Chain A
Amino acid sequence: MTPLFQNFLLGHILFGLLATVSSVMVFLGLVKNAGFQKIRINSLVGVLGFFISWILGGYYYVNFYGQQVKPAIKSGNYPWAHGIFMETKEHIFLFLPFLSLVLALLVWFLKNEVNKNSRLKKAGIFLAFMIIVLAVSVTFMGMLISGAVK
């Protein structure tokens, strides 16, 4: 793997983790009624992190994974790691940045409504929780895919 792709893969992991941690902070901020400034900043970091991770991962996928890694996995001991996990990961990762964008828009533009309307707040908490669950599952899928490379 060239240093460029190494850095792209590393960036994909690090920005994804950063965005996941920020989503956890948004979730905890909402359940604990923390200050909205903190929640807003974390939601912004989450969106940026997921989008940067998305772009870096996408570039790596198109220019390196498909040509070199995928054939190695398919001819290895765990070909299902691509067939099941990469296919699933790809699709989840397509909408993860947009889910975090929805959450960020909610806490940036509907602060008063979120404070007043408990059902809207619960929906925000649930959305943040779903982002965390999806991000954690995508992380595990990435680990399994990496492990399947010969």
Chain B
Amino acid sequence: MDWYSVLVSGHIIGTALGVGGATISDYLFFKSVKDGKITAGEFSFLKAVSKVLWLGFLILVFSGLGLLFLWRLNAGAGELVFSSKFLAKMTVVSIIFFNGLLMHWKVFPLFEAGLNKPLNSEGFSKKIPLVYSTGVISIVSWYSAMLLGSWREMRFSYPVIMIFYVFLILAGLVMARFVVRKIIFKK
């Protein structure tokens, strides 16, 4: 197996872990809040999935930079690096990274402080938009990064791709708000 195959396999594994992790994480969140609270067991599952997500992200970044390094040594990567699709993918990957940091910084401590307490309490309900926003950004970004990496015929310009991405996030936020109001606040 040559380096190229190893790196491409790594890139696919990293994406699979990230997309799978983001999907399971969001599913677990909505399943956990159904009874109006998050238990210690549910929180530990969320943390475990988050570790898988970070692992996927690390593999994705290391393999991606490895692929770029190989292209740099061989044919050059100019057309790829300056393509709209690649620049959009890098933007989305940065958003995944900083959104992940925000989750660990603000959202997880919130869960930890509110274990076994009603989620519709005044303190938590004020911060619930932050919780579902980071979840929506995570899942939309992971699927977008996967699509941008795999959709070879895509010829849209950078602004068009980013407008579509922002639209997906906004649509996801509206949906998440609706679901959260139904499940947690029973409205």
In the bound complex, do residue B68 and residue A146 qualify as a contact, i.e. CB atoms below 8 Å apart?
A: yes
Once the chains bind, are B58 and A21 in contact (CB under 8 Å)? yes
Cβ of A150 and Cβ of B94 under 8 Å apart? no
CB distance from B14 to the nearest CB of A (A): 14
For the complex formed, measure the closest distance between the CB of B142 and the CB atoms of chain A, giving whole angstroms. 18
Query: What are the residues of chain A within 8 A of B80 when measuring CB–CB?
Result: 147
Q: Report how far A8 CA is from B97 CA in the complex, Å.
A: 27
Within 8 A of A (CB), among B59-83: 61-62, 65, 68-69, 72-73, 76-78, 80-82
- Residues of B within 8 Å of A78, CB to CB, are 78, 82
Q: Is the interface of B mostly helix, strand, loop or mixed?
A: helix
B109 interfacial by beta-carbon distance below 8 Å: yes
A20 to chain B, nearest CB (A): 9
**Judging by beta carbons under 8 Å apart, are B81 and A144 in contact?**
yes
Interface residues on A, range: 20 to 34
Q: Which residues of A contact B6 (CB under 8 A)?
A: none
Which residues, 1 to 59 on A, are CB-close (under 8 Å) to B? 1, 6, 9-10, 13, 17, 21, 24, 27-28, 31-32
Contact across chains for A27 and B101 when beta carbons are under 8 A apart: yes
For B76, give the chain A residue with the smallest CB separation.
A149
**Size of chain B's interface in residues, with CB distance under 8 A?**
22
| Bound-complex Cα distance A77 to B62 (A) | 27
With beta carbons under 8 angstroms apart, the residue of A6, A76, A147 that contacts B77 is A147
Query: When A9-B69, A31-B104, A146-B72 are in contact, do A136 and B97 touch as well, CB less than 8 Å?
Result: yes
User: Nearest chain B CB to A135's CB is how many angstroms away?
Assistant: 11
Please name the residue on chain B nearest to A137 by beta carbon: B94
With contact pairs A31-B104, A136-B97 given, residues A147 and B81 touching in the complex (Cβ less than 8 Å): yes
CB-CB contacts below 8 Å: B88-141 with A = 90, 94, 97, 101, 104-105, 108-109
Given contacts A13-B69, A17-B61, A136-B94, contact A24 B81 (CB under 8 A): no
| Given the contacts A28-B104, A136-B94, A149 and B73 also touching, CB distance less than 8 Å | no
Q: Is the CB of A132 within 8 A of B68?
A: no
A118-B32 Cα distance, complex, nearest whole Å: 33
Name B residues whose Cβ lies closer than 8 Å to a Cβ of A: 58, 61-62, 65, 68-69, 72-73, 76-78, 80-82, 90, 94, 97, 101, 104-105, 108-109
* Chain A residues within 8 Å of B, Cβ to Cβ: 1, 6, 9-10, 13, 17, 21, 24, 27-28, 31-32, 76-78, 129, 132, 136, 139-140, 143-144, 146-150
Query: Can you list 24 A-B pairs with a CB-CB distance of less than 8 A?
Result: A6-B73, A9-B69, A9-B72, A10-B69, A24-B101, A27-B101, A28-B101, A28-B105, A31-B105, A32-B108, A32-B109, A77-B78, A78-B78, A136-B94, A136-B97, A140-B94, A146-B69, A146-B72, A146-B77, A146-B81, A147-B78, A149-B72, A149-B76, A150-B76
